[in-house]
């Protein structure tokens, strides 16, 4: 199956997606808001939307997997003082 676009369009799309996911990595949202409008100028919308949705789902799953408590090092609680114990009651 031939690629439906030329090399220049592919390079522009790769740069747009890279920039969008840098924004996503910093702010945790906004990749699709940046990617879809820009890529729809170069590629058909029915091609762009499934690709962006799939990439967004994978990126969100990756960020969620990294943020789960099972992957965070367990730090023991500091010893409680009598003032902390009284405030907790």
Q: Is 79 among the domain residues?
A: no
Q: Is residue 17 part of a domain?
A: yes
Say if residues 44 and 82 touch (Cβ distance below 8 Å). Answer: no
Residues contacting residue 63 through CB under 8 Å, at least 6 positions apart = 28
| Tens digit of each residue's pLDDT (9 = 90 or more) over 22-64 | 888 888 777 888 899 998 998 888 888 998 899 888 888 887 7
Average pLDDT, the chain: 78
- For residue 6, the model assigns a pLDDT of 84
Question: How many structural domains is the chain composed of?
Answer: 1
Which pTM value belongs to this model? 0.60
Domain containing 33 equals 7-68
Q: Does the residue 48 lie in any domain?
A: yes
Amino acid 3: pLDDT:
65
Identify whether 81 is part of a domain: no
CA-closest candidate to residue 18, choices 55, 66, 57, 61: 55
Q: Is 86 among the domain residues?
A: no
Residue 49 lies in a domain: yes
């Amino acid at each position: 199956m031939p690629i439906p676009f030329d090399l220049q369009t592919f390079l522009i799309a790769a740069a747009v997606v890279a920039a969008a996911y840098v924004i996503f990595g910093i702010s945790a949202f906004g990749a699709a808001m940046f990617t879809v409008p820009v890529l729809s100028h170069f590629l058909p919308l029915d091609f762009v939307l499934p690709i962006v949705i799939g990439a967004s789902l994978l990126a969100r799953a990756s960020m969620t997997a990294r943020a789960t408590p099972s992957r965070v090092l367990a730090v023991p609680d500091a010893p409680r003082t009598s003032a902390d114990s009284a405030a907790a009651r």
